[in-house]
Amino acid sequence: MTNLVENVPTPRSFKAQTSLNLQKRGFPWTKISLQGTSYFQAPNRLAIRFNKVPGYMSGLPQAYAKVLNVGAWPEQYNATLGPPQTVNGHTDYTLVLTPKTGSSDRGVALVDPSNWTVEQVKWNLSGGVQLSMSENYTNVDRYRVPSSQQVSVHTPFATADGTATLRDYAVNVPISDEIFTQK
């Protein structure tokens, strides 16, 4: 969720209104819309707090934040360079992420070298969950921040696709430590 561009500073913190709309691909074709707030504090703290998350989706906010928290990846994963991949007409670097400890989570991140932003992530998570996401960015003040995400989630029981939007940013604002310790 953070960008690595040398000429574009990363905010020390931000909070943004976040909407996530998911639609299940199979019967019953259910749709869910979650509203909440994303919080980031440099270098490696990211939390997403949705309002009224259904019980069967209780782990989603933590998993969503975990796979997007680029700042925490060096602490949790070993990164190796994989083969370059073409994305949107240009070539991205491929980072293969393997856990440093006993976790079974594995990821691949595609990084655009022209602006050092993570354009796509693909994760194989514990419990047979696969998550893929592509991300678009916008400028807020002088900062480059995520504006939208296209999400695909596959579990052993269901598959869903969706879109997330982040808006109404407040950058470099104080954020309580409690936000990052809540479950």
pLDDT attached to residue 39: 95
Please state which CATH number belongs to domain 13-181: 2.50.20.10
70 phi and psi angles, rounded to 5 deg: -55, -35
From the CA atom positions of the chain, what is the Rg in Å?
A: 16
One-letter identity of residue 15? K
Say what the pTM is.
Answer: 0.84
Tell me the β-bridge partners of 125.
129
Specify the 3-state DSSP secondary structure of 183. coil
The pLDDT value recorded for residue 161 is 92
Per-residue pLDDT at 53: 86
**pLDDT tens per residue, the chain (183 residues)?**
444 444 567 789 999 999 999 988 877 778 989 999 999 999 999 999 999 888 877 778 888 888 888 888 999 899 999 999 998 899 999 999 999 988 888 999 999 998 888 999 999 988 888 999 999 989 898 898 999 999 998 888 888 899 999 999 999 999 999 998 876
For residues 81 and 97, the answer to whether their CB atoms sit within 8 Å is no
Paired tokens of 174:
């104080």
In the chain, domain spans = 13-181
- Give the per-residue pLDDT at 129: 86
